[in-house]
Amino acid sequence: METHTIEEKERFVFEQVVLNMANYKRTMNAKIEHNIANFNKLSDSHKKLLPAREKYFEDQKLAVFQNQEILKLILEDCEQNFGFEVTGSTIKVFQSLQL
């Protein structure tokens, strides 16, 4: 049976958080792009009926940005409190979150 150190377990949990954030961001961006594409297909007369749509899209983009800021705090916290620097695949995932 394989045993893991506390640091390895913490890193695993942290990497899962990062991966979940990356998946969430990809899903949100795909939804935003899909909604914008559908909105752009509407005629001008129909677009006038949906004045709140653009604000809705901006709110979605803001939510993605805020989640990215939360992830940065998680990274900093792990480096400070768990005593390891985030490297390798984890940092690649983090870099993929850049808008």
Helix-strand-coil percent breakdown of the chain, rounded to 5? 80, 0, 20
Q: What CATH code is carried by the domain that includes residue 29?
A: 1.20.58
Q: For residue 40, is it within any domain?
A: yes
| 1, part of any domain | no
pLDDT at residue 84 tops 60: no
- Residue 36 located in a structural domain: yes
Q: Which residue has the higher pLDDT, 41 or 67?
A: 41
Residue 74 structural domain: 6-96
Query: Can you read off the two tokens belonging to residue 85?
Result: 């620097």
At residue 98, the 3 state secondary structure works out as: coil
Total number of domains constituting the chain: 1
R_g over Cα of the chain: 19
Give the closest residue to 52 by CA, choosing from 9, 60, 26: 60
Confidence of residue 29 (pLDDT cuts 50, 70, 90): confident
